[in-house]
Chain A
Amino acid sequence: MGAVSATADERVAKVSVFRRLLMKPELGAVIGAILIFLFFSFLSPVFHSAAGIANWLDPASTIGIMAVAVAMLMIGGHFDLSAGVQIGSAGLIVGILTTHFHLFIWASIAVSLVVVLAIGAFNGYLVVRTGLPSFIITLATFLMLQGLNLGLTKLIINTVQVGGIREEPGYDSAKAVFASQFTLFGQEFQITILWWILWTALATWILMHTRFGNWTFATGGDRNASRNVGVPVKSTTIKLFMIVSAAAWFVGTTEALRLGSMQANAGFGRELIFIVAAVIGGCLLTGGYGSAIGAAIGALIFGMTSQGIVYAGWDSDWFKFFLGAMLLLAVLSNEYVRRRAATQKKG
């Protein structure tokens, strides 16, 4: 074995460090994040102060937890348009069960997890069973959940806002886990930032170092080929949808606990943000390629841009333009990398 690995093949040496870096899916996002950080730091000194950093890391963290899960699903070759509205469902279940039915808060959180995981399993099952594009299946789930969130909330509590979660027993312990702050260098940061790092590390480990991760890349890369070599394509797909749901549960619970209340229309329209963050992070829309770290950095870019524009004193309408431009750049560079990676050698 030693002889094999020690043999310095002169053709291998040609692959430079630079090209190896170029093949990393998250490279573009890292460069983008550095440039955006420098850009807004230059425009406003507050941007890179401890308070400023805490401020833009907060939105980045919740978007990041979702983007990492959505990236895993995208690598597996699917979309989940119901990801945003599931956040709302998760938060509403926690809110209504504790405030209206006076279920102990941790029990409500557990019920919320079970229900949202079931939604994910439903999405995944329909996708593998029908073979229809996940885009259309989850669009249907998205619409149905949107209706259910509003309809059921009104039916049960006669209003569209669940309030008063803070007064329920057990709130403090739940808040400590999901929605507390920690102090670093004299600055308070949201604990979701730590959770975001943990989710990213876990997702990276799963993707790169487990069989399930290998199957995720394979399922997204070529479903038929994967099936032919014995990859459990169907169960992998269903589990990926459930991972997105688990992330939605986490973020939904966090938001309900942080605010002490939940709007029945919470989460609508955020699903695209997660997909954009994953794509900026290097995920291919066609599946089979991408990284969790990339998606986390994509979310960071989101957080920095949304807050940076405020610090720079610009009209916040520019945010959308920036985002669109970044998405376009990301898609173009991803496409270039994909072509480099998948081009057949001649001869």
Chain B
Amino acid sequence: MTMAPETAIDAPVLELRNVSKYFGSVISLKDISTSVRAGEVTCILGDNGAGKSTLIKTLSGVYQPDEGEVLMDGQPITLDSPRAALDAGIATVFQDLAVVPLMSVWRNFFLGSEPTKGKGPFKRFDQATAKSIARKELKDMGIDIRDPDQAVGTLSGGERQSVAIARAVYFGARVLILDEPTSALGVKQAGVVLKYIVQARDRGLAVVFITHNPHHAFPVGDRFLILNRGHSMGDFAKNEITREELTAMMAGGAELEQLAHELSRDSADPQVREAGREFKDEAADLGIAD
């Protein structure tokens, strides 16, 4: 009976229990349950329209669930605004990153939470502190920004993402929600962002990583929730699922197999047939088709 007390202490930082969300007659989320623990990464996978966005907005306080409950440290909580979620320690890095391109890295880093010095009418933005903290935090995350004075607009997509992540980490987030951080990036840049996700995890944050790419999710994830058309296709720990199964569930294996067949057989063009064969082989490698 050592399991029970351990579970109580080690409650997930954030947990969803049977959460549903409707927009009129549209079922956006139905009966979704998952959890994320400190020092772990929970990946939420799904294709376009699977309900990923609705789920993030529910976690970040933009929407409130119509059914089910959200628990933090085992206690039910109500997140009725983005500010409430932030105050509870849930930081969301949205796809637009919430950075201002024309402003410098360090000004962006502290935007909305600027340190001040002086009193009364002489209260001012403590720029020296802001600059040195921003530089140190970025460095500690392994983020190599050449010059904190440069405008964020001049950074690459991966670098911008990393500034947003470092900012959330610094401002005491316990849960970090990342909305498709790798989707618009090239292979190398995506790898860099995955590295920051691992960094955040190693610092003890509970990370929720939303993506439609199982190849990005599998290496960093500890838990995987797969969504399809608002329904959960399953919530797995890492040892319960393989990369191939994950990919197959994501893509809707049967549909992909059908496509591979059509491409390889029905075309008169030998080049298309060849492409189809390659596609089928690849699908077979992934365990989708035979």
Q: Do A and B assemble together?
A: yes
| A residues apposed to B, CB below 8 Å | 1, 4-5, 9, 11-12, 15, 205, 209-211, 213-215, 217-218, 221-222, 224-226, 228-231, 288-289, 338, 341-347
Q: Known contacts A5-B135, A229-B112; decide if A344 and B153 are in contact (CB<8 Å).
A: yes
Interface on B for A, CB 8 Å cutoff?
82-83, 86, 94, 96-103, 107, 110-114, 116, 123-125, 127, 132, 135-136, 139, 146-147, 150-151, 153-157, 159, 167, 188-189
Residue of B nearest to A345 (CB): B156
Q: Which of B96, B102, B127 contacts A289 (CB 8 A)?
A: B102
Q: Which residues of B contact A214 (CB under 8 A)?
A: 103, 107, 110-111, 114, 125
Give the 5 A-B CB pairs with smallest separation, nearest first.
A342-B153, A230-B112, A221-B100, A228-B98, A229-B112
B151 contact set on A, CB distance < 8 A: 341-342
Residues of B within 8 A of A224 (CB): 96, 98
Contact of A343 with B154 in the complex, beta carbons under 8 Å? yes
Question: What are the residues of chain A within 8 A of B107 when measuring CB–CB?
Answer: 214, 217-218
How distant is the Cα of A228 from the Cα of B202 in the complex, in angstroms? 26
Other-chain residue from A9, A15, A229, A344 in contact with B98 (beta carbon distance below 8 A): A229
In contact, B156 and A210 (Cβ under 8 angstroms):
no
The verdict on A228 contacting B153 (CB below 8 Å), with A211-B116, A341-B102 known, is no
Residue in A closest to B107 when the chains form the complex, CB atoms: A214
What number of residue pairs across chains A and B have CB atoms under 8 A from each other?
Answer: 105
Which of these, B96, B98, B102, B116, contacts A288 with CB under 8 Å? B102
B112 engages A217 (CB within 8 Å)? no
Are the C-beta atoms of B155 and A288 separated by less than 8 Å?
A: no
B124 near A209 (CB under 8 angstroms)?
A: yes
Q: Nearest-CB distance from B21 to chain A (Å)? A: 21
Chain B positions within 8 Å of A221 at CB level: 100-103
Given contacts A214-B111, A229-B111, A230-B112, A4 and B136 within 8 Å (CB-CB) = yes
CB <8 Å contact, B102 and A338: yes
What is the chain B residue whose CB lies nearest that of A209? B124
Given A1-B136, A209-B124, the answer on whether A341 and B147 have CB atoms closer than 8 Å is no
Beyond the given pairs A228-B96, A229-B111, A346-B156, 5 more chain A to chain B contacts, judged by CB atoms under 8 angstroms and listed by A's residue number, are A218-B111, A221-B100, A230-B113, A288-B100, A347-B188
Q: Is the CB of B100 within 8 A of A344?
A: no
Q: Which residues of chain A come closer than 8 Å to B83, judged between CB atoms? A: 230
Q: How far apart are the CA atoms of A218 and B102 in the complex, in Å? A: 9
A341 surroundings in chain B (CB, below 8 A)? 102, 151, 153-154
A210 touches B112 (CB 8 A): no
B157 touches A344 (CB 8 A): yes
Within 8 Å CB of B135, what residues of A?
A: 4-5
Q: Which residues of chain A are near B125, meaning CB under 8 Å?
A: 209-211, 213-214
A217 contacts B100, CB within 8 Å?
yes
- Separation in Å of the A292 CB from the closest CB of chain B? 16
Beyond A1-B136, A15-B147, A211-B125, whether A342 also contacts B102 by CB under 8 A is: yes
A224 to B95, CA, bound (A): 12
Asked whether B153 lies within 8 Å of A343 as measured between CB atoms, the reply is: yes
A-B contact pairs, 29 of them (CB 8 A): A4-B135, A4-B139, A5-B132, A9-B147, A210-B123, A210-B124, A211-B116, A214-B114, A214-B125, A217-B100, A218-B100, A221-B100, A221-B101, A221-B103, A222-B101, A228-B82, A228-B98, A229-B111, A229-B112, A229-B167, A231-B111, A341-B151, A341-B153, A343-B154, A344-B154, A345-B154, A345-B155, A347-B188, A347-B189
- Pick from B99, B101, B103, B114: contact of A211, CB below 8 A: B114
